[in-house]
């Protein structure tokens, strides 16, 4: 029965959400995507969305929705994700790329859209295992949001996080399991992770500056996955 559900994927154009989109397309007969502009300085990620959607085109892949939260999030103040501030750790032990409330707002918007469009599964690529320690990526946060959204909208949404307990090497492995080398190549070529928006330097694992935290995570995951497969990184 779950396989007949319709799904909405939070799709940014990054590695994680691209893998989640392929995951949802393998499960559900009707999958829509939603993306958010919020003044992110690596907005180049958003331009990667359409080529990825085209590469994954199939009967199940339906409408795309873009929501502009630039004024909303920008109006609440700057972070290293939305302004030209050097990436660093704060005294609270959080990276200054953390945008407070962002994922909570995204989920609220996604659920409001899902409510209107009759979509029950909401899929997002957050991960507790191998990430920067953002509190709004944690499993308990997502479970609490599911409860709040279901109570507040009187629905039975299911928030799904296929990457929650996977590290970046396992995320590459999941792409390989879902779509073989073809999907790995789509993720590698078209998805974007770099915080600095670099898409001119080319590496085995894709394009990016190679040194920002997002590039390091992506590259390390790629190298570990290749080593696990007994291949040269
Ligand atoms: Zn980078």
Global pTM reads: 0.93
In angstroms, the first-to-last Cα distance of the chain is 41
State in Å: Cα 218 to ligand 1 middle. Answer: 9
Q: What is the largest CA-CA distance in the chain?
A: 51
Q: How far is the CA of 209 from the centre of ligand 1 (A)?
A: 4
Residue 199: CB partners within 8 Å, gap ≥ 6?
44, 192, 207, 208
Give 182-223 pLDDT, tens digit per residue.
999 999 999 999 988 899 999 999 999 999 888 999 999 999
What separation in Å is there between the alpha carbon of 42 and the centre of ligand 1?
A: 10
Q: Which of 53-57, 72-76, 79-83, 148-152 has the lowest mean pLDDT?
A: 79-83
If you average pLDDT over residues 131-149, what whole number do you get? 90
Domain architecture of the chain: domains with CATH: 6-166 (3.40.50.620)
Each residue's pLDDT tens digit, 79-111: 777 777 787 888 777 877 788 889 999 999 999
């Amino acid at each position: 029965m779950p396989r007949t559900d319709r799904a909405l994927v939070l799709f940014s154009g990054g590695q994680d959400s691209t893998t989640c989109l392929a995951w949802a397309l393998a499960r559900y007969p009707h999958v829509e995507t939603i993306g958010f502009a919020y003044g992110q300085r690596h907005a180049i990620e958003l331009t990667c969305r359409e080529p990825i959607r085209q590469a994954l085109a199939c009967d199940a892949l339906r409408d795309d929705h873009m929501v502009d939260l630039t004024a909303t999030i920008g109006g609440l103040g700057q972070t290293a994700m939305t302004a030209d501030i050097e990436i660093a750790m704060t005294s609270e032990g959080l990276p200054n790329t953390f945008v407070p409330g962002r994922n909570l707002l995204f989920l609220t918007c996604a659920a409001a859209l899902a409510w209107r469009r009759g979509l029950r599964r909401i899929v997002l690529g957050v991960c507790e295992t191998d990430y920067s320690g953002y509190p709004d990526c944690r499993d308990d946060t997502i479970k609490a949001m599911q409860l709040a959204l279901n109570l507040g909208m009187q629905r039975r949404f299911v928030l799904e996080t296929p990457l929650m307990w996977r590290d970046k090497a396992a995320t590459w492995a999941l792409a390989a399991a879902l779509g073989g080398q073809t999907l790995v190549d789509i993720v590698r070529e078209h998805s974007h992770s770099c915080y600095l928006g670099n898409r001119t330097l080319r590496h085995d694992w894709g394009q990016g500056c190679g040194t920002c935290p997002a590039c390091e995570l992506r590259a390390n995951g790629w190298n570990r996955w290749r080593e696990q497969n007994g291949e040269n990184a």
